[in-house]
Amino acid sequence: MLTDHDGGISQEAVSGFESVDELQSQGINVQDINKLKATGICTILSVSQTTRRNLLKIKGLSEAKVEKLKEAAAKMLPPTFATAAEIGLRRECCVMITTGSKTVDAMLGGGIQTGSLTEVFGEYRGTQLPLEMGGGGGKVAWIDTEGTFRPERLNAICDRFGVDTTAATGNVICGRAYSSEQQHDMLFELAQRFVEDRTFKLLVIDSVMNLFRSDFSGRGELSERQQKLNAFLSRLAKMAEEFNIAVLMTNQVQADPGATAIFAGPSAKPIGGHILAHASATRIQLRKGRGEERIAKLVDSPCQPDGESTYALRVG
């Protein structure tokens, strides 16, 4: 790790994305570092982001050890506050991943951006945004909650873009989740992969709400469901920034009985409620058009105006 002339940690060298292994330089022992890794806390930034309360839940970490961890991480991180110009420089590392559609990319300001969460929602078989796998020059991780991941689809996309199929499919990893708890636990394993292999640029959750809907039913379990969902989304958002990856979540819609023609409101709304709406930096609604056409509507974005774009689903 680089240091300044006066012996301090170089700002250029530390972004917080470094492995927790670097904490050994601050006197943290290997055993405690391994305990962090086992719970998905794999970077210095993640130590800073995790509350003391949650660190104390890790077996073998006392209050004294937690305070030492917090102090060590703070020493190795850049200042908490920065000027807008400095933040702008940090954001230059963000990558735009193409959707495969020039018109959709233009609407999004270049594509799906790393470092934040993007939600795509629509009716069944409508939430199919064509993604050029590896468009960010890196690998893809995929959490499949519905059993719909098909390598054959990737082969067709590779053929369309003239990409070597063997190389491309070898750079896409997929895990099948069967419960919302397993879906959440997969993030811990992915965190370990991401810190070891920085070439991952995209994480797809397809679909984000499916297992939460099946595991928690009725109004009596709604509060617990939303709490679990909030924890999952919070972890996702941290990982997006921590590893500078784009997170793309597909979501379905449900009928909105409160919407009427009088108020010209939408007849369907995305599931997940306000928690999912607020967690998603960018939200895209997809609906069917004529024939193979689909219409993508940008309904929320931190830097782009609302808009619509038409694209077509074609293979080969």
Residues 142 and 82 in one domain: no
Cα distance from N-terminal residue to C-terminal residue, the chain:
47
What integer pLDDT is reported at residue 124 of this predicted model?
59
End residue of a domain, out of 90, 122, 148: 90
The answer to whether residues 267 and 122 belong to one domain is yes
Q: Are 182 and 254 contained in the same domain? A: yes
User: Which domain does 19 fall in, by range?
Assistant: 1-90
Structure tokens at 52: 């003391």
Q: Collect contacts of 27-34 with beta carbons under 8 A, ≥24 apart.
A: 27/68, 27/72, 28/68, 28/69, 28/72, 31/60, 32/60, 32/61, 32/65, 32/69
Tokens representing 20 are: 């927790």
**Domain termination site, one of 57, 90, 123:** 90
Shared domain check, 85 and 110: no
Residue 274: what pLDDT?
Answer: 93
Q: What is the dihedral of CA 100, 106, 107, 111, to 10 degrees?
A: 50
Question: Computed over its alpha carbons, how large is the radius of gyration of the chain?
Answer: 21
Residue 277 per-residue DSSP state: H
Are 6 and 139 part of one and the same domain? no
Are residues 128 and 256 both part of a single domain? Answer: yes
179 and 307 belong to one structural domain: yes
Torsion of CA 269, 272, 278, 284, to 10 degrees: -50
Q: Does one domain contain both 68 and 48? A: yes
Pull the structure tokens for residue 46.
């993640």
Look at residue 257 in the predicted model and tell me its pLDDT: 60
Q: Domain boundary at 75, 90, 105, which? A: 90
Are residues 105 and 245 located together in one domain of the fold? Answer: yes
257: domain CATH number is 3.40.50.300
Say yes or no: 127 and 270 in one domain: yes
CA distances from 106 to 134, 152, 212, 252, 254 (A): 19, 28, 33, 24, 29
The count of domains in the chain is 2
Amino acid at 144: D
pTM (two decimals): 0.84
Given a cut of 70, the residues of the chain with pLDDT beneath it are 1-16, 124-137, 256-267, 313-316
The strand pairing partners of 182, in sequence order, are: none
pLDDT in tens, 270-292: 999 999 999 999 999 998 888 87
What are 46-98's pLDDT values in tens digits? Answer: 999 999 999 999 999 999 999 999 999 999 988 888 899 988 887 888 889 98
| CA distances, 246 to each of 43, 186, 212, 280 (Å) | 18, 17, 22, 12
CATH of the domain at 74: 1.10.150.20
**55 and 120 both lie in a single domain:** no
Sign of the dihedral defined by the CA atoms of residues 12, 15, 16, 17, in that order: negative
Residue 301 sits in the same domain as residue 154: yes
